Amino acid sequence: MPSNFIEDFIEEDIATERFARPICTRFPPEPNGYLHIGHAKAICIDFGAARKYGGRCHLRYDDTNPVKEDVEYVDAIEDDVRWLGFEWDGLYYASDYFEKMYECAERLIEKGLAYVDDQSAEEISATRGTLTQPGTASPWRERGKDENLALFREMRDGKYADGEKVLRAKIDMASPNINLRDPVIYRIAHAAHHRTGEAWCVYPMYDYAHPLEDAIEDVTHSLCTLEFEDHRPLYDWVLEALDWPRPPRQIEFARLGLTRTLMSKRYLKQLVDDGAVEGWDDPRMPTIAGIRRRGYTPEAVRAFCEEIGVAKANSTVDIAMLEHFVREDLKARCDSRNVIFDPVKVVVTNYPEGASELVPMENNRDCPERGERLVPFSRELWIDGEDFLESPPPKYFRLFPGNEVRFKGAYFLTCTDVVKDANGRVAEVHCTYDPLTKSGSGFEGRKVKGTIHWVDAATAVPVTVREYGYLMNDEEGGSQTLNPDSLSVRTCMAEPAAAEALPGERFQFFRHGYYVADAKLSSAEPGGARVFNQIVGLKSSWKG
Ligand code: ATP
Ligand code: MG
């Protein structure tokens, strides 16, 4: 694995014995939604660094905001991290540190480094100043320690309503970094918390809580996304103000953005709440739960994350690149199945009525070790609508009247005529087969230019196939809108083996793409209803 700037920092810290403790990282999701592919990048970086340096990586729920959080999300996050192939060295909840964080806040007050402010949120934000103008001190900034302590205790005891008072760090109202202009570190919220219930009505703010969570857990490297770079001075300030020995080091990396992809839990939740998708695990969703149901593999997602690396500048990656990694990973992993889209009936007029035979079909052309299966062939077959044209354009090598093509794994067939229904649509394509051309017989008499796939009509099973477009359209100017045509469902005719697919099993549908038996909608019964999700097409549009 090539080294990157995060690893360079870690190696430097190991060499200088900066921490005098083993390397420890953490993945700290806020349980307010399902994880998405952007989180997968963070997970690979956090767990990957710990693995590489023989350290630990914690899974920590950053659950300091009582209102938005839910146990449903907590459970989903664990499934998702495990699915990606990582196991945490400890499961933590930031809410377990509420008492400790509160004590630290009292210590700041005692040191004259925090004060209770009676101003409203609007007043505080109006007096923060701008990039060019310093902020204005609160009239409560010079309150005495004892008064601050008494007021803060009253805040905790529930004496005040939401928003009536806050605790602010006393840093520098003129700092060029606005985050250091006496940031609010505690607010009042009379809200039940998913774990601590009604025990607290004051909650710590992220910028105060996060460094403490890291420090309490003996984290050494707190890896986060670039938007926290300007908050790092505050991260360091909190731990220094509390004389924390050998405090953790925050390092920022670029957020992952993908074309045609909405990457924010808040907006993804809105799609779920609005019913625009079937749920957090809808196969069109960029959530880990969605891409898992879509049939992506954890190996492909990890390989993709490794390839995009840990750039220091935010950038948007072409979704085709992710699809490329999925396709590459599936190539050697799946057996092939014949599945017919827009079926057209072929009648082999010189094949004996009532007869049938089993022809061997390779499971994966590139992996002979995946073996063969036997596929029935008889007088009536289904072929893809696209593989027959009554009046073909030049260079069309598939079936048309008078033309001979190879039916893969079986025989050469020549189209003799077309039978139409009352509406003039093709009802049956009549062909003759040449018994001498049997596949595998060594026949070398003639060459044909086209090879098509087929299924035996007598034994074919109907399957539901769900094909996906992108959920979002990228608009000029960077915004995204919902694509109204992101799902199409059709019934296809499949060879019998497709009906035995296990929920979650992946296949290449020959000449069509990669598909997975939907884990939720497919029956677990042999021969029961099968619903397949399109994973990716066969052709890459990624210009790597
Ligand atoms: P969202 O805006 O989607 O809710 P978030 O950053 O608020 O994302 P958190 O639950 O706070 O989500 O994130 C947990 C970790 O995942 C954080 O360290 C965060 O920096 C990282 N992360 C979130 N989104 C991305 C992304 N698109 N690319 C890389 N890392 C991400
Ligand atoms: Mg968040």
The number of the ligand 1 atom at minimal distance from the alpha carbon of 33 is 4
The number of the ligand 1 atom at minimal distance from the alpha carbon of 31 is 10
| pLDDT tens digits, one per residue of 114-158 | 999 999 999 999 999 999 999 999 999 999 999 999 999 999 999
Residue matched to tokens 């008492």: 99
| pLDDT tens digits, one per residue of 368-394 | 999 999 999 999 999 999 999 999 999
Ligand 2 centre to CA of 30 (Å) is 6
Ligand 1 centre to CA of 520 (Å) is 28
| pLDDT tens digits, one per residue of 400-420 | 999 999 999 999 999 999 999
Ligand 1 close to Cβ of residue 39 (< 6 A): yes
> How far is CA 409 from its chain centroid?
38
Ligand 1 close to Cβ of residue 268 (< 6 A): no
Residue 102 pLDDT > 50: yes
Ligand nearest to the CA of 255: 1
Ligand 2 centre to CA of 117 (Å) is 26
**Residue from 6, 39, 206, 210 whose mutation best tests the ligand 1 pocket (most atoms within 8 A of CB):** 39
What is the rounded distance in angstroms from the CA atom of residue 530 to the CA atom of residue 453?
Answer: 20
From the list 117, 194, 118, 102, the residue with the least C-alpha distance to 157 is: 102
- The Cβ of residue 525 has, within 10 Å, a number of other Cβ atoms equal to 8
Tell me what the mean pLDDT of segment 184-196 comes to. Answer: 95
Tell me which DSSP letter residue 254 carries.
Answer: P
Residues pairing with 356 in the sheet: 378
Ligand 1 close to Cβ of residue 68 (< 6 A): no
Which pLDDT score, from 0 to 100, does residue 533 have?
A: 98
Ligand 1 close to Cβ of residue 251 (< 6 A): no
User: 529 with 504: CB under 8 angstroms?
Assistant: no
Ligand 1 centre to CA of 179 (Å) is 20
Ligand nearest to the CA of 81: 1
What is the rounded distance in angstroms from the CA atom of residue 306 to the CA atom of residue 301?
Answer: 9
Catalytic residue set: 30, 255, 265
Tell me which DSSP letter residue 97 carries.
Answer: G
Ligand 1 close to Cβ of residue 316 (< 6 A): no
Which pLDDT score, from 0 to 100, does residue 312 have?
A: 73
| pLDDT tens digits, one per residue of 279-289 | 999 999 999 99
Ligand 1 close to Cβ of residue 225 (< 6 A): yes
Ligand 1 close to Cβ of residue 255 (< 6 A): yes
Ligand nearest to the CA of 267: 1
Ligand 1 close to Cβ of residue 31 (< 6 A): no
Predicted model pTM? 0.94
Q: How much is the mean pLDDT over the chain?
A: 95
From the list 327, 307, 311, 234, the residue with the least C-alpha distance to 541 is: 327
Ligand 2 centre to CA of 207 (Å) is 12
**Residue from 43, 223, 225 whose mutation best tests the ligand 1 pocket (most atoms within 8 A of CB):** 225
The number of the ligand 1 atom at minimal distance from the alpha carbon of 30 is 10
The number of the ligand 1 atom at minimal distance from the alpha carbon of 43 is 16
Residue 1 pLDDT > 50: no
Q: For residues 5 and 69, which has the higher predicted lDDT (pLDDT)? A: 5
What is the rounded distance in angstroms from the CA atom of residue 135 to the CA atom of residue 127?
Answer: 5
What is the signed CA dihedral for 122, 127, 132, 133, rounded to 10 degrees?
A: 160
Q: Exposed/middle/buried for 101, CB within 10 Å: 0-12, 13-18, 19+? A: buried
Ligand 1 centre to CA of 38 (Å) is 7
Number of H helices, E strands in the chain: 12, 29
Residue 3 pLDDT > 70: no
The pLDDT > 90 percentage for the chain reads 93
What is the rounded distance in angstroms from the CA atom of residue 373 to the CA atom of residue 362?
Answer: 7
Q: What is the DSSP string of 355-403?
A: -EEEEEEES-TT-GGG-EEEEEEESEEEEEGGGB-SSPPTT--SB-TT-
> How far is CA 475 from its chain centroid?
22
Q: For the chain, which domains are there?
A: 5-256 (3.40.50.620), 338-456 (2.40.240.10), 461-536 (2.40.240.10)
Confidence bin at 2 (pLDDT 50/70/90)? low
Tell me what the mean pLDDT of segment 457-486 comes to. Answer: 95
Tokens at residue 108, please? 């700041």
Ligand nearest to the CA of 316: 1
φ/ψ of residue 111, rounded to 5:
-85, 5
Tell me what the mean pLDDT of segment 227-239 comes to. Answer: 98
Ligand 2 centre to CA of 310 (Å) is 20
Which protein residue has the closest C-alpha to ligand 1 atom 26? 38
Q: Where are the beta strands (DSSP E) in 389-498?
A: 404-407, 412-420, 426-434, 451-452, 455-456, 461-468, 472-474, 480-482, 487-494
What is the rounded distance in angstroms from the CA atom of residue 506 to the CA atom of residue 297?
Answer: 10
Which pLDDT score, from 0 to 100, does residue 542 have?
A: 87
Ligand 1 close to Cβ of residue 29 (< 6 A): yes
Which protein residue has the closest C-alpha to ligand 1 atom 10? 29
From the list 257, 230, 499, the residue with the least C-alpha distance to 376 is: 499
Size of the chain, expressed as the number of residues it contains: 544
